[in-house]
Structure 1
Amino acid sequence: MSIARRTLLSSGLALPFLRRASAQEAPTPILFVHGNGDHAALWMTTLWRFESNAWPRERLMAISLPDPLARADDAVPQPDRSSSAEQTERVAAAIAELRSRTGAAKVALIGNSRGGYPIRDVVSRPEGAAQVSHAITCGTPNHGVYDWEFNAGSEFNGRAPFLRRLNGGASEVTKGVSFLTIRSDNDLYAQPDGRYVGRPGTPTGVTQEGPALRGATNILLPGLDHRETAYHWRAFREQFKHIAGREPLTLSVMPEERPRIGGIVTGLSNGVPTNRPVAGATVEVFTLDWLGQREGDALLSMTTGADGAWGTAVLPAWRYMPVEIVLTVPGHPIAHFFRPHFPRSSSVVNLRPPAAITEAERGAGCLVRLVRPRGYFSWPRDVVLIDNEEVVEKREGVASIASATRSLPAGRAGTAVYALFNEEKLVGRGVPLSENRISVMELTW
């Protein structure tokens, strides 16, 4: 956080803006729904931006759906995966919970990618539409990722029953609900060629206009990738304007003096990510200096219970230092998550064990994975460096990867490792792969 922004808050210069916003009636509660395979933590920066514009924290709710991956065939049960009907049922239950918690008659819904499907399904029904004021889909493949004879039962096929039902009318939105779609020209799931869905050279039958809906306000944000249509500050501005009916007072995240962070540990089942809680996981939280070394004892050290919750770590006041979170889950590599500082509190710092170490990676002395949960890497748009070198995964064209890996010699264990994504710099530390440990450098923005 820059000194100027810290001074703005601490000097009280920001307070007139916050007073002006808080003087209005209570804002509409908002429910956030993540995409395929994801979880609530991806909404963290968006939650911070709404809070920074005086939206009460208790009127913001990001959910983690238990089985976030779609079935191969929507009508055929599949372990650890969900149907469209199951997702709709869970979103409907979350709406009821948020309305009960806030006493509001209606809520607003924002979904990224697959998260837009249950939103549309809920409001397509009279009882759902009566409880929803605004519906925003961000990068949602509203007309399918493809429209072809292959994968005939997939939820993502524009020809399958689910999307045919949602898109079958003269209007594709519901009267009485204010609809907004946000899309980009850099979305790997809105492409005319099947390259990104395993069939290069086969026309998908969709275009970059696939996420738009007849009857909605449709906005194109050029250059953003599939996830950034939900989590980028440009997307936040459109979300805020659509629900609040005015411009946000700030697009930045205003810092808190003593951020408190917590979340749950979820797992992998047969290599498939789930959002079901994991008991018996150990979580340790440390602050670091800019050489990647720990500053004293752990701020928190605990083992999760049946709910998977890992408690709350209180970060030092006004210390904008990196954070290391060590996650130990039996049967998985020990992950040392290296994160930039947390400017605000968050209860959705959810953790999953890393994917298994591949045979190609086992020869490394230290293994470093750089991940970007809220977006993809795109060249030449982005600069992506690990240890001051461009990543080997670099590819030009549509933004399509969200992780990069670098193998380092064993002698780098205990030494600083730096990563750069445009203006966001991370510091981590090499850890010995021989001890079944890996470094995961996780970007925030």
Structure 2
Amino acid sequence: MWIARRRLLSLFAGAALAAAGLTAPTPAAAEPVRAGAETRPAVFIHGSAGSAMQFRTQAKRLASNGYPIELIEAHEYDSPNIATIIASVYADLDARIARLLAASGAEQVDLLAHSLGTFVTQGYLNSSPARAARVANYVNLDGRPATALPGGVRTLAIWGEGDPARTVAGATNVHFPDQSHTQTVSSEESFREIYRFLQGREPRTTAVVPQRHPQVSGRAVLFPSNAGVGAATVELYPVSPLTGRRLTHRPARVQPVAADGSFGPMPVLPYARYEFALVRAGQATHHFYFEPFVRSDAFVRLLTSRPGEGIGALVDTSDRHTALTFQRQKEWWGAEGDELWIDGRNILNAANAPRSKRVIGVFVFDDGSDGVTDLTAPLPEFFAVTFMTGMDVFIPAAQRRLGTVSILSRQRGGGFSAMPVPNWRSSEHRVSIEIDDH
């Protein structure tokens, strides 16, 4: 008990110091030696309705094994319109690769793609021998089979649950029949295979190794187009690990969002919790909560939308209830080991988050603003969207002063997270919560 109390006091102290612009001592960690010149840039290409978020954990695992973080990038695009923009996606990838090669001094890059991203990447590699020649290795993550190596490039193909006959001919094909579609991107087992394939040796670690002085950067983007939000400001607040409420009235950092949505880097304290507030004139403030950043993270994405647009427009709002959106880059399997508790109630079940739905995004709000919770069936307009589900849960909102929504997540296979957040009014605030996949 004393150890747990001391840990909580440490978290409070660290967050308070962060707000004051000071640093606190953090546990010593074995900082990996930076990789030598032989390390090639690595570029991740996401799938449908995806972003750099799917590769957040693997990017930090690569960095924990010596990859320079500036040589790990994500190539993002408007996936719903890929058929009409494919030529520009290829041209932008040409420019990205050229820039990375010039910056690193390497002769080739490694490409890693997931789902729809494998369609994009295989097409890119097959489109031109010159393009393929600039790629040393390709990792095909639970996506498109092929009858030959794309562009003749050395390939690793990782497959999750589903048809065991799927292969890329001539590639190293690895099957994880107990892993779901997005889980094949983020899992520890996939990372081991990826690192062994790219580097020809075992990784020193499959953990995300803590750093003394991590920094966070990313983009605020419109979902699912990945277009930059623009005309917005990001405010960073240290928050209480017990309540999720802000520890200071003023933000520790304030930054305008660039035209492409980028912001940062922002220094943070490891093991402290933070809120990112996306502020736009005339719009509801969008609050984003992440688990502690124990290591520098350049793949943070603040996924939002314009008022009245996108899937967010389907969320009922009122002064009486709080609306929450959850993300995890490992599918939730209701009734098969995953649990998501809100104020003492597990909201996941076989009806609203079946394994077959591959849910990574969960919308939770009071449907109809009637003060009634109904978990017997998912909200159909959300369940109809790929990788999404919706649930009718009444979460009372603040009336006179902010309270706390208790959130506990338990992962199948192990892992437990406590992510309390304030009970913001949905009429004026949007709340998104990213739960780690490891």
TM-score tier (shorter): 0.7 to 0.9
Q: Secondary structure at the match of 2:225?
A: strand
Q: Distance in 1 between matches of 2:315 and 2:200?
A: 53
The question of 1:324 aligning with 2:267 is answered no
Q: Displacement, 1:306? A: 2.7
2:140 to 137, 147, 150: 137
Identity of aligned residues (%): 23
Q: Please state how far the C-alpha of 1:431 moved relative to its aligned partner.
A: 3.3
Code of the aligned partner of 2:255: M
Amino acid at match of 1:427: M
- How far the C-alpha of 1:99 sits from its partner, in A, is 1.3
Counterpart in 1 of 2:322?
A: 366
Matched residue, 2:388: none
Q: Would the aligned equivalents of 1:134 and 1:178 in 2 still touch at CA under 8 Å? A: yes
Aligned equivalents of 2:398, 2:428: Cα separation in 1: 16
Contact residue 424 and residue 443 of structure 1 kept, 8 A: no
**Following superposition of structure 1 onto structure 2, how do residues 339-358 of structure 1 map, counting pairs within 5 Å?**
339-353=290-304, 355-358=311-314
The whole-number CA distance in structure 2 between the counterparts of 1:416 and 1:363 is: 16
Counterpart of 1:89, as a letter, is A
Structure 2 residue 155 is the aligned partner of structure 1 residue 179: yes
Partner residue of 1:409 out of 374, 383, 396: 396
Contact 1:338 1:428 survives alignment (8 Å): no
What residue identity is the alignment partner of 2:323?
L
Query: What SS is found at the alignment partner of 2:234?
Result: strand
Instruction: Read off the aligned partner of 1:259 and give its amino acid letter.
Output: P
What does residue 116 of structure 1 align with?
118
Aligned residue number for residue 409 of structure 2: 420
Per the alignment, in what secondary structure is the counterpart of residue 442 of structure 1? strand
Does the Cα contact within 8 Å between 1:282 and 1:328 map onto a contact in 2?
yes
Unaligned runs of 5+ in 2: 8-25, 306-310, 365-392
Q: Could you state the TM-score of these two structures normalised by the residue count of structure 1?
A: 0.75
C-alpha distance 399-53 of structure 1, shift in aligned 2 (>3 A)? farther
Alignment of 1:25-174 (within 5 A): 26-65=38-77, 67-71=78-82, 74=83, 77=84, 82-83=85-86, 85-124=87-126, 125-140=128-143, 142-143=144-145, 167=146, 171-174=148-151
Q: Which amino acid aligns with 2:404?
A: T
Q: In 2, are the aligned partners of 1:180 and 1:242 still within 8 Å (CA)?
A: yes
**CA–CA distance in structure 1, aligned partners of residues 355 and 301 of structure 2:** 31
- 2:272 alignment partner, SS class: coil
Change (3 A) 1:259 1:430: same
Give the partner amino acid of 2:53: A
CA distance in 1, matches of 2:327, 2:179: 17
Tell me the alpha carbon deviations over residues 252-288 of structure 1, each in whole angstroms, 9 at most, x when there is no partner.
01111121112222225xxxx2222222112111121
Contact 1:333 1:357 in 2 (8 A): no
Cα deviation for residue 348 of structure 1 reads: 2.6
Q: 1:70 to 1:218 in 2, by over 3 A?
A: farther
- Range moving further from structure 2, 212-221 or 347-356: 347-356
Residue matched to 1:439: 431
Structure 2 letter corresponding to 1:112: H
Question: What is aligned with 1:338?
Answer: 289
Contact 1:430/1:439 (<8 A) preserved: no
1:338–1:426 contact (8 Å) kept in structure 2: no
* 1:289 CA displacement: 1.6
Cα drift, residue 387 of structure 1: 2.5
In structure 2, what residue type is equivalent to 1:237?
Answer: R
| Cα separation, partners in 2 of 1:392 and 1:244, compared to 1, 3 Å | closer
Q: Measure the CA separation in 2 of the matches of 1:434 and 1:105.
A: 51
Q: Provide the secondary structure at the position in 2 that maps to 1:35.
A: coil
SS at match of 1:128: helix
Deviation at 1:420, TM superposition (A): 0.9
Q: How many residues align?
A: 369
Deviates more, 1:25-34 or 1:227-236: 25-34
Q: Does 1:288 align with 2:239?
A: yes
In 1, distance between residues paired with 2:408 and 2:55? 23
Equivalent residue of 2:359, what SS? coil
Give, in angstroms, the shift of residue 328 of structure 1: 2.5
CA contact (8 A) 2:160 2:179 kept: yes
Residues 92, 122 of structure 1: 8 Å contact kept: no
The offset of 1:25, in angstroms, is 5.1
DSSP-derived class of the 2:184 partner:
helix
